[in-house]
Amino acid sequence: MKTTAIIPLRKGSKSIVNKNKKKILGRPLFTWVLGEAIASNLDEIYIYTDDESIINFVKNEYKWTTKVYVMVRSEKSATDEASTEFAMKEFSAKIQYNFDVLCLLQATSPLTTKEDINKSLEKLVNNKYDSCLSVVEYKRFFWNEEGVSINYDYNNRARRQDFKGTLVENGAVYVTTKSQFIHSGNRLGGNIGIVKMPEDTFTEVDEPDDLVVVEKLLLRRLKHKKKTPTSIKAVVLDVDGVFTNGNITYSIDGEFSKEYNMQDGMGIELLRESNLPIVVMTSEKSDIVGHRMNKLNIEHVYSGVKDKYSLLDHLLKDLNLKRNDVAYVGDDVNDLANLCSVGWGFCPANAMDEVKMESDVILTNRGGLKAIREVVRFILNYNQRF
């Protein structure tokens, strides 16, 4: 059974300009659901968009997976008036309905997890539903404009913990069989199943304030999952601002030099002698970085990475490790999601303030000035202790 997901993205958002590319904990909004979709049981995921910058981003960023594709949507399907169903039908026709199950995922619901996606797929298949949708049990008391209570008896007001609440669409996940979708032309139809998601997934990103709310919710969720490891089993390092002081010297021919610390290099050697995997992950593409990492004999080096969170998830599978096994060292907002979700998050003394606020350890040394050596000392002492 072939399961295909579509994540429709429009370039021309009105309420929030460039909404789908807005950074949430340093990651573009749409990458939160895309990363979970990749980690789910879906067979393939299509980013369906008219935004050329997103198309290029996806093509360059997710070469490590064979599940992700991009497809250009028509101008007609990307207008304010066009419905999501119109885009779904246009997309389905383009791929000649080559799926058994179609899954609609919304980028505006960044708290969607791979478990939510899998649960929806399993419910559709195992219970022989024609379609399923995700909902939240919303424990609020509703009234209409005539002053009539809708979902409770105000003369017998229930305690919140005893109140069943109302099931509300959260707009996150919809799944449908091909036959149902062809028959109705709608994401929902036939025998419909309900999949409950946590209450914090109720918020969708439609207005500017929603960005603030979902970032706080994501931060809380990531930190809630953190557990102090009994030992640190791998180290992930950013480059600029960690290996270096963050400064770059340019000549007329482009990047000319970066300054590295030899004692940090010895720290890398000490980690290797302790059989700890070392991963270097940087958003920049630099021949200088490549030469330095080669000199340090670091095997896992990834440059030009814009979605560090998804890549780390992928690498941890290969290393048979969990996030709680990892120490991560970063200095800027594109490191935030990883810093908040690993066992130990470190930042140099010269890191950005918002990074310092969320790191487990703020180092006394600055990037490029023995910050890495300080991390190595911490890790070796920590592992020896436990």
| Dihedral Cα 301, 306, 312, 317, nearest 10 deg | -90
For residues 262-271, give the mean pLDDT: 95
Residue 304, pLDDT score: 94
For residues 25-29, give the mean pLDDT: 96
Separation in Å, CA 27 to CA 22, 125, 245, 320: 8, 33, 23, 24
Whole-prediction pTM value? 0.92
For the chain, residues classed under CATH 3.90.550.10 are 3-225
For residue 137, give the H/E element and its range: strand 131-138
- Classified by CATH at the fold level, domain 234-385 comes out as Rossmann fold (3.40.50)
Q: How confident is the model at residue 14 (pLDDT cuts 50, 70, 90)?
A: confident
Classify the C-alpha dihedral 318-320-324-325 as positive or negative: negative
Q: State yes or no: pLDDT of 334 exceeds 90.
A: yes
Q: State yes or no: pLDDT of 255 exceeds 70.
A: no
Structure confidence by residue, pLDDT tens digits, 220-254: 999 999 888 889 999 999 999 999 988 877 766 66
The correct CATH number of 3-225 out of 3.90.550.10, 3.30.70.1090, 3.30.70.1520, 3.30.300.10 is 3.90.550.10
Q: How confident is the model at residue 209 (pLDDT cuts 50, 70, 90)?
A: very high
CA distance 301 to 321: 18
Q: State yes or no: pLDDT of 165 exceeds 90.
A: no
Q: State yes or no: pLDDT of 66 exceeds 80.
A: yes
Residue 254, pLDDT score: 66
SS3 159: coil
Q: Is 342 exposed, middle or buried (0-12, 13-18, 19+ CB in 10 A)?
A: buried
**Average pLDDT of the chain to the nearest whole number:** 94
CB proximity list for 77: less than 8 A, separation 6 or greater: 86, 87, 90
Q: SS3 for 17-64, per residue?
A: CCHHHCEECCEEHHHHHHHHHHHCCCCEEEEEECCHHHHHHHHHHCCC
For residues 24-51, give the mean pLDDT: 97
Residue 205, pLDDT score: 96
Q: How confident is the model at residue 287 (pLDDT cuts 50, 70, 90)?
A: confident
For the chain, residues classed under CATH 3.40.50.1000 are 234-385
The residue ranking higher by pLDDT, 123 or 256, is: 123
User: Residue 265 corresponds to which tokens in the numbers above?
Assistant: 């290099």
Q: Is 362 exposed, middle or buried (0-12, 13-18, 19+ CB in 10 A)?
A: middle
Q: State yes or no: pLDDT of 385 exceeds 90.
A: no
Q: State yes or no: pLDDT of 256 exceeds 80.
A: no
